[in-house]
Structure 1
Amino acid sequence: MSAPIVKLFTQPNFAWTDIRKEEEAHPRHYLAHLLLLALIPATCLFIGTTYVGWSLAENETVRLSTHSALQLSALLYLTIIGGIAVMGAFIRWMSRAFEARPTINQCIGFAAYTATPFFIAGIAGLYPSRWLAIIVLATASVYSTFLLFIGLPTFMHERKEQGLLNAACVWAVGLLVLVTILVTMILMWFNVLTPEYLRATIG
């Protein structure tokens, strides 16, 4: 794990300063962070749904076939990349109402680093469980929101009051984008890819 990622969880204020410097020096510095960390939830979900499975009824375990799990993981990975790109574009568009004039790469980079808690939370996919997923995703949402509100003024070089207002707008749009993308992914998963389930009786 790189130093900026560790700092996002230990010294977030300093982390955003370091990340901004890296993005100014290397406009696509965020790509490695995004492309590699997005593999965490996709890979863990593949392992969890094929080797561990989940229970819908007593004494029964449900798993996905390898082919279906690969489809789901690939769909999740592409959805994450696409969602971050869309969110970055919205941040760039909304910045026109404020003094900041970030580039599209800087905005996508900011979205990618802000989503880091969700990438790490993807480890929970190793053990498919509704309640575990709810708890982990809720925790990731809270910390990601925290990173957004303390990071946007620093990353965009905005005044604190202006940055907080911008962050509130980004949060609202981000929630809408997240819900829209997840619903689209679920509909595609069930109606286009047609998953194959493997059921096994325990005992």
Structure 2
Amino acid sequence: MLLSHAFGLITHPDQEWASIRNEHEHPTRLYVAYVLVLAAIAPVCAYISTAYFGWSVGNDRLIKLTEISALQLSVLTYLAMLVGVFALGYAINWMARTYGAREEHVPSNGVAMAAYSCTPMFLAGFALLYPQPWFNAAIFLVAACYSAWLMYDGLPIVMGIEKERAAMYGGALLTVALVILVSTRVGSVIIWNFGVGPVFTSG
């Protein structure tokens, strides 16, 4: 089962990457059975916490989002995550030959690398059930660092390249990931200007 890889990547990543490489899962099945499921964790948790739990700012005044606003932002976040994983997977495949990766008949390795490397970020979404900005920022920072390490660790195994090239390949991919992140932030601002921004309410 694809979801079993989520636990394996935390406990024994090298063996799990080798298993992932041998699977050659079709990108569509990988997306449906893994990415669509795990990417939903953060938006669902964020909806519950911002619409029903709320968070305090300074003077302990409870702040919440309206249910409609929380739902809209959660759906947009979910879609942004799906597009981001796909874009990163495409970039991995696109740059593969440049860094000496072995050519595959099924273009699944790039999507697999992107999806499974993002596993810590997906799981960090549970932290959003406790909507405190500094706590959430710390959890997601740790998850992002571990995701970057997973990608660096998995590139030589899944893409079949030398360990020395993995550092350059991983650095290029992290740059792409940052561009994707900035693009989603800019996209959020643009969408907010069309009336889909957060609507706050006091709890």
- TM-score (normalised: structure 2): 0.90
Distance of 1:27 and 1:194 partners within structure 2: 33
Question: C-alpha deviations, 1:163-201, integer Å up to 9, x for none?
Answer: 23211211222122222223322442465303321113x
Residue 196 of structure 1 corresponds to 199
User: Percent sequence identity over matched residues?
Assistant: 34
Q: Secondary structure at the match of 1:185?
A: helix
Structure 1 residue 155 corresponds to structure 2 residue 155? no
Residue 134 of structure 2 corresponds to 131
Residue 6 of structure 1 corresponds to 7
Residue 88 of structure 1 corresponds to 89
Are the counterparts in 2 of residues 79 and 185 from structure 1 also a CA contact under 8 Å? no
Distance of 2:84 and 2:3 partners within structure 1: 23
Distance 1:119 1:190, change over 3 A: farther
Residue in structure 2 matching 1:118, options 103, 118, 121:
121
In the TM superposition, what is the alpha-carbon distance from 1:56 to its structure 2 partner?
A: 2.4
Are the counterparts in 2 of residues 72 and 189 from structure 1 also a CA contact under 8 Å? no
Q: Which runs of 5+ in 1 are unaligned?
A: none
- TM-score (normalised: structure 1): 0.90
Are the counterparts in 1 of residues 88 and 114 from structure 2 also a CA contact under 8 Å? yes
Are the counterparts in 2 of residues 42 and 77 from structure 1 also a CA contact under 8 Å? yes
In the TM superposition, what is the alpha-carbon distance from 1:104 to its structure 2 partner?
A: 4.0
Once the two structures are superposed, the pairs formed by residues 154-193 of structure 1 within 5 Å of their partners are: 154-189=157-192, 191-193=194-196
Residue 56 of structure 2 corresponds to 55
Aligned positions, number: 199
111-120 or 50-59: bigger deviation: 50-59
Residue 109 of structure 2 corresponds to 106
In the TM superposition, what is the alpha-carbon distance from 1:60 to its structure 2 partner?
A: 1.1
Structure 1 residue 40 corresponds to structure 2 residue 41? yes
In the TM superposition, what is the alpha-carbon distance from 1:38 to its structure 2 partner?
A: 0.5
Distance of 1:80 and 1:198 partners within structure 2: 26
Q: Secondary structure at the match of 1:8?
A: helix
Q: Secondary structure at the match of 1:158?
A: coil
Distance of 1:68 and 1:36 partners within structure 2: 22
The amino acid across from 2:55 in the alignment is W
Distance of 2:63 and 2:44 partners within structure 1: 18
Distance of 2:186 and 2:126 partners within structure 1: 22
Distance of 1:182 and 1:104 partners within structure 2: 29
Are the counterparts in 2 of residues 153 and 164 from structure 1 also a CA contact under 8 Å? no
Q: Which runs of 5+ in 2 are unaligned?
A: none
In the TM superposition, what is the alpha-carbon distance from 1:25 to its structure 2 partner?
A: 5.1
Distance of 1:145 and 1:87 partners within structure 2: 13
Q: Secondary structure at the match of 2:161?
A: coil
Distance of 2:98 and 2:172 partners within structure 1: 11
Q: Secondary structure at the match of 1:90?
A: helix
Distance 1:192 1:109, change over 3 A: farther
Structure 1 residue 30 corresponds to structure 2 residue 30? yes
Distance 1:177 1:49, change over 3 A: same
